[in-house]
Amino acid sequence: MNLAIDCQGLVKRFGTYTAVQGVSFQLPAGAIMGFVGPNGAGKTTLIRMLCGVLVPTEGRATVLGYDVLTQPEEIKQRIGYMSQKFSLYDDLTVRENLDFYAGVYSLQGKMAKEQKTRVIERIGLVERTSQLVSSLSGGWKQRVALACALLHSPQLLILDEPTAGVDPVSRRIFLDLIHQLAKEGMTILVSTHYMDEAATCDYLGFVFYGHLIAFGSPDEMKEKEAKDNLDDLFIYYVENEASDDPRNLALKKGGRG
């Protein structure tokens, strides 16, 4: 099987705090995977290690066949990363932002022009190119950020909570775009707090206190554990995990904090 991501025992410690505790999974190329988990679970930390921007404390991972420890630059060239707090320039237009990111990805001349035209059309920004980013709604900003992440035709797109705080209609449009990209062969890793989005993924990873407490296809996991919906499934896995960890008692008692 052609794997887009293969990680074994990934650990990240910040001082004495362990944010990611031995995460292992294998994601086939061409699939959409969702990370789901509460605030502080370790999703962004995990994503940043897979992007080659944060060095794991322990464990190993290959992304698109390249080692995160020894070949991070190879990975960065081949992935599109839309970070949780993505950075667009508010005082520049949509096109100027694309120009800037084309430079970041070292796209020049004819190639840069073609790639910009391609993403502008692909993401539906034709009518918006001269608009200042500051004047766009949250949903449109998200789409511009996606366009920037796609400029260099990445094989793997990594999106960290791309739809947080966006209205339901914009979320749906964004999700449809992601699915179209996957149909065209792109592998996608997305973190989300929205279970309706998670339900559309081919694979889900539930992240809790730095652990990957479950990994698999949403439908298969629901069937295996006899749960009707992903909320119940997530709570079921958390309670299993929580049974011998005193930090998690609050959750067992009904709290999520």
Ligand X SMILES: Nc1ncnc2c1ncn2[C@@H]1O[C@H](COP(=O)(O)OP(=O)(O)OP(=O)(O)O)[C@@H](O)[C@H]1O
Is residue 62 within the footprint of Mg ion (CB under 5 A)? no
**Helix locations, the chain, DSSP H:** 43-50, 72-78, 94-104, 109-122, 138-150, 168-183, 195-198, 218-224, 230-242, 249-252
Q: Which does 39 bind (CB under 5 to 8 A by kind): ligand X, Mg ion, none?
A: ligand X
Max Cα-Cα span within the chain:
60
Alpha carbon distance 59, 82 (integer Å): 24
Q: Judged by CB under 6 A, does residue 56 bind ligand X?
A: no
Residue 37 binding: pick among Mg ion, ligand X, none (C-beta 5-8 Å cut-off by kind) = ligand X
Task: Give yes or no for residue 44 binding ligand X (CB under 6 A).
Answer: yes
Q: Which is nearer to Mg ion, 71 or 84 (CB)?
A: 84
42 binds ligand X (CB under 6 A): yes
Measured CA to CA, the distance from residue 15 to residue 79 in angstroms comes to 29
Report in angstroms the alpha-carbon separations of 78 from 26, 71, 181.
18, 11, 15
According to the binding rule CB under 6 A, does residue 171 interact with ligand X? no
* Span 112-131, contacts to Mg ion by CB under 5 A: none
Site string for ligand X, 21-40 (x = CB under 6 A): ----------------x-xx
Per-residue contact flags (x/-) with Mg ion for residues 73 to 92, judged by CB under 5 A: -----------x--------
Q: How far is Cα 65 from Cα 44, in angstroms, rounded to an integer?
A: 21
**What is the rounded distance in angstroms from the CA atom of residue 74 to the CA atom of residue 82?**
17
Q: Which residues bind ligand X (CB under 6 A)?
A: 14, 17, 19, 37, 39-45, 84
Rule CB under 5 A: which residues touch Mg ion?
43-44, 84
